[in-house]
Structure 1
Amino acid sequence: MLTNAVIISVIVMVALSLLRVNVLFAILISSLTAGLVSGMNFSDSVNLMVSGMGGQANTALSYILLGIFAVMIGLSGITTLLVNQMLKIFTGKKTMLALAIAGIACLSQNAVPVHIAFIPILIPPLLGLFDRLKLDRRAVASALTFGLKAPYIMIPAGFGLIFHGIIRDEMISNGMNISLSDVNLSMLIPGSGMIVGLLIAIFISYRKDRVSKPAIQTPPAELDMAEGITDEPAPAAWKMEHTFTIIAIIAALVVQLVSKSLVLGALTGIILLFITRVVKFHDGDKVVQEGIGMMGMIAFVMLVASGYATVLKETGSVTELVENTTGLVGNSPMLLAFFMLLVGLIITMGIGSSFGTIPILAALYVPLCAAAGLSPLATAALIGTAGALGDAGSPASDSTLGPTAGLNADGRHHHIWDTCVPTFLHYNIPLFIFGMIAAFVL
């Protein structure tokens, strides 16, 4: 089992990432490693990876357009008003600010299901405020990732309804009947672990003052001037451009919800800001360049991660890993639960998608759970938790790439050490523990 392509390639990816190798190179090398270990040559591995990159083409385009939209919103000046108001409210209350960001992020999964679309709009303008308050950006990364994951794990609305529906449908298709309400109930215990992780991150791990340093050291005076950090909020009055910007944001949201397309939603907002002259047409090159600079990296990482996931699936290594693991543990409920969660963690760390992992796990885990005498509730909890494990902390997951894209807008936030490692520790460990508890309680 230790020669399995999934295990080896994930170890390679994590090791390279921890050594500060760029995540794009880390995933490329891991993908090639998976292909070679499974018996393919370099050429076949690359071709298979490239063929699978199209699976995230829509997502990649969405992120780039959202980056452009975010830059245009910033040019409107409305973000200055936002920062000024937040300065008044949260001065000296950095813990409350981190919790507020977690709350806003939670809304992005159900009440206003835009997923990470709000991050490039909300977070970059607040970076100066974070440094002014000496708020550890790792706490903000933890808050954002919590909001991107916990709601779909626990709340049956928006993306959560989709996630719970996948669990139910896959369990039924594999011979174990369960209702959607039972799936909802089963995921409350694992999801509670994430609440514990969030509180530990904000109130214990990252409560001390910390100002992120730039890659190239800059004199503090120049740094403050560059970011516009002052002792008092800069005066700003409401203008017609701000009204048009609000209209564009609402229109983009409505189109996205109706069409279920982030691409159409972002395009709507961009076109409206051009038409209303909030951003001039001759500034088009500027906003495109800055938008790609903000979100282009995450877009390409998602493309390569999709290719990596395709390599893992097509080689049969995922199925082989699950079968080998379950063959070792037999029908012991305790061992079965432990190894189910461990395998789910490894697979999702590589694939980077909780939703895409569930069908793979359910097909093999449902019969094993039935044989071990586990109830449908316990089985749903284990499958859901195994799928969710690894999403937080995976270098290839949008739950970590999204927060990094916003927090690293000024080049002071490292994707692995400031986002992936903190979110891995604070969410995967509690999810694992609470998932085990759910397997025995339910």
Structure 2
Amino acid sequence: MLNAVVISVLVMVILSLLRVNVLFALIIAALTAGLMSGMNMTDSVGIMIAGMGGQSQTALSYILLGIFAVMIGMSGITSALVNAMLKVFSGKKLILVFTLAGIACLSQNAIPVHIAFIPILIPPLLILFDRLKLDRRAVASALTFGLKFPYITLPVGFGFIFQGIIRDEMTENGIAISLKEVTTAMLFPGAAMIVGLFIALFISYRKDRVAKKVEEVKVQDIDIADSITEQKDVRWKVSHGFTVIAIIVALVLQIVTESLVIGALSGIIIMFTFRVVKMYEGDKVVNEGIGMMGMIAFVMLVASGYANVLKETGAVDELVEKTLAFTGDSHFVIAFFLLTVGLLITMGIGTSFGTIPILAALYVPVMIAVGMSPLACAALIGTAAALGDAGSPASDSTLGPTSGLNADGKHHHIWDTCVPTFLHYNIPLFIFGLIAAMVL
């Protein structure tokens, strides 16, 4: 138990659970691993910084997508979508919830705005939810599904980043695999997400539920959502057409060039060229874009540096030996152990993307030692990374839905978002991850 890798991971998880910022938790954990393995402070920091370059392209992709998302929001196209939904879905609860899940799915690939659409789209719909007596836990489950399912299963947008990280980190640690193979392996956790969504919407939260206040909210705060719904009369404009063109071009170029940087940059250029967003607003969109996605980008950089320190300690080989002595060569037992650790780490960090370099450094050597197939390895790493993301209080997949659903103070972050999403998605993910380890 005094293995440097084990101690550093425990330090990281404990600090994260104590609500220490994840960047500080990762840095302290990296230094802990280095010092325990005999390095001095300077060497530990140097190795961490040297390893951060491994995720530089991913970090830049996040920043550019954040800027693109802000520009899409400024175009006003999402307001037009809200008005259309208010007219079409009155009295159609189930269709409305599935539509929200579909829109959330688009936010991860076709229109890669991540969680930026939620504060724009959801608050004006809260009045409609209450009139329909729609259980907001169903909406939270639908939104979280849409924020997770696409990047888990589809190699487009954020999915291209997620699956690309799995491919790169597996290759870096000794298992060569293609992006196509990663996509195939991720069908298992994708199927788990679908099962969880259906259980949530058709069984758990199908009954009427009137939302009640969970905190002190002034009357005028509640009226804000109503006034937004009543006052907005957004018609289709030429700028909306250019926004659609920018989104399509960004998507096509990303697929053709296999570069999210090129795709996002092309969309940004089109939005500026056709003056959907004015050039003098450049500082604003950059600042807001970095504010939205910059934290995730830096988490990815530091996580890559942390993984580099773990590899340089030499303690990973020792961990492999101890793990095999405990689990034997049973793929089922090893898969159970890996998924459990993935759940703990991701619940603490709150990001599935940042967990992949850490999991790959820790467990690819174990997988090689027991002869697991590359597909099984990819499925386990991807599922372990996704585990906990849905139920973590610090995750974008839960913070995003709550930011919209609690605009009127009637939605509890833990009990109405985190607990429902944890139960409905993490349990199926764990089960399907075990199945993937046995059949792939």
**TM-score, normalised via structure 2 length:** 0.73
Please say if residues 362 and 383 of structure 1, whose CA atoms lie closer than 8 Å, have aligned partners that are also in contact. Answer: no
- The alpha-carbon distance between structure 1 residues 192 and 343, as it changes in their structure 2 partners (threshold 3 A), is same
Residue identity matched to 2:258:
K
Please say if residues 102 and 143 of structure 1, whose CA atoms lie closer than 8 Å, have aligned partners that are also in contact. Answer: yes
Shift of 1:256: 1.9
307-316 vs 132-141, greater mean Cα deviation:
132-141
Q: Distance in 1 between matches of 2:301 and 2:382?
A: 21
Q: Percent identity?
A: 51
Question: Any gaps of 5 or more consecutive residues in structure 2?
Answer: 131-135
Q: Distance in 1 between matches of 2:5 and 2:203?
A: 34
- The alpha-carbon distance between structure 1 residues 329 and 231, as it changes in their structure 2 partners (threshold 3 A), is closer
- The alpha-carbon distance between structure 1 residues 105 and 303, as it changes in their structure 2 partners (threshold 3 A), is same
Residue identity matched to 1:128:
P
Match of 1:249 among 221, 241, 247: 247
1:329 aligned partner: 327
2:52 aligned partner: 53
1:305 aligned partner: 303
- The alpha-carbon distance between structure 1 residues 120 and 390, as it changes in their structure 2 partners (threshold 3 A), is closer
Match of 1:151 among 139, 150, 153: 153
1:117 aligned partner: 112
1:236 aligned partner: 234
273-282 vs 38-47, greater mean Cα deviation:
38-47
Shift of 1:400: 4.6
Q: Distance in 2 between matches of 1:282 and 1:173?
A: 48
Is 2:367 the counterpart of 1:365? yes
Shift of 1:209: 5.9
- The alpha-carbon distance between structure 1 residues 431 and 238, as it changes in their structure 2 partners (threshold 3 A), is closer
Q: Distance in 2 between matches of 1:79 and 1:188?
A: 30
- The alpha-carbon distance between structure 1 residues 36 and 89, as it changes in their structure 2 partners (threshold 3 A), is farther
Shift of 1:405: 6.3
2:3 aligned partner: 4
Q: Distance in 1 between matches of 2:294 and 2:201?
A: 29
Shift of 1:339: 3.5
Q: Distance in 1 between matches of 2:205 and 2:37?
A: 41
- The alpha-carbon distance between structure 1 residues 64 and 281, as it changes in their structure 2 partners (threshold 3 A), is same
Please say if residues 194 and 430 of structure 1, whose CA atoms lie closer than 8 Å, have aligned partners that are also in contact. Answer: yes
Three-state SS of the structure 2 residue aligned to 1:389 is helix
232-241 vs 311-320, greater mean Cα deviation:
311-320
Q: Distance in 2 between matches of 1:57 and 1:409?
A: 31
Residue identity matched to 1:144:
G
1:193 aligned partner: 192
Shift of 1:22: 2.5
1:34 aligned partner: 33
Is 2:125 the counterpart of 1:126? no
* Count of matched residue positions in the alignment of Structure 1 and Structure 2: 417
1:78 aligned partner: 77
Residue identity matched to 1:249:
I
1:177 aligned partner: none
Deviations 1:196-221 (A, max 9, x none): 3334455667776668989xx76341
Please say if residues 194 and 427 of structure 1, whose CA atoms lie closer than 8 Å, have aligned partners that are also in contact. Answer: yes
Shift of 1:98: 4.4
Question: Any gaps of 5 or more consecutive residues in structure 1?
Answer: 175-179, 371-375
Shift of 1:144: 3.0
- The alpha-carbon distance between structure 1 residues 240 and 401, as it changes in their structure 2 partners (threshold 3 A), is same
Alignment of 1:284-299 (within 5 A): 284-299=282-297
- The alpha-carbon distance between structure 1 residues 342 and 320, as it changes in their structure 2 partners (threshold 3 A), is farther
- The alpha-carbon distance between structure 1 residues 108 and 416, as it changes in their structure 2 partners (threshold 3 A), is same
Is 2:276 the counterpart of 1:278? yes
Q: Distance in 1 between matches of 2:232 and 2:341?
A: 52
Q: Distance in 1 between matches of 2:48 and 2:154?
A: 29
Alignment root-mean-square deviation, CA: 4.6
Please say if residues 38 and 315 of structure 1, whose CA atoms lie closer than 8 Å, have aligned partners that are also in contact. Answer: yes
Residue identity matched to 2:385:
G
Please say if residues 76 and 279 of structure 1, whose CA atoms lie closer than 8 Å, have aligned partners that are also in contact. Answer: yes
Three-state SS of the structure 2 residue aligned to 1:21 is coil
Deviations 1:243-275 (A, max 9, x none): 121112222222222222222222222222222
Is 2:258 the counterpart of 1:260? yes
Three-state SS of the structure 2 residue aligned to 1:117 is coil
Please say if residues 151 and 160 of structure 1, whose CA atoms lie closer than 8 Å, have aligned partners that are also in contact. Answer: no
Three-state SS of the structure 2 residue aligned to 1:238 is coil
Please say if residues 9 and 30 of structure 1, whose CA atoms lie closer than 8 Å, have aligned partners that are also in contact. Answer: yes
Residue identity matched to 1:338:
F
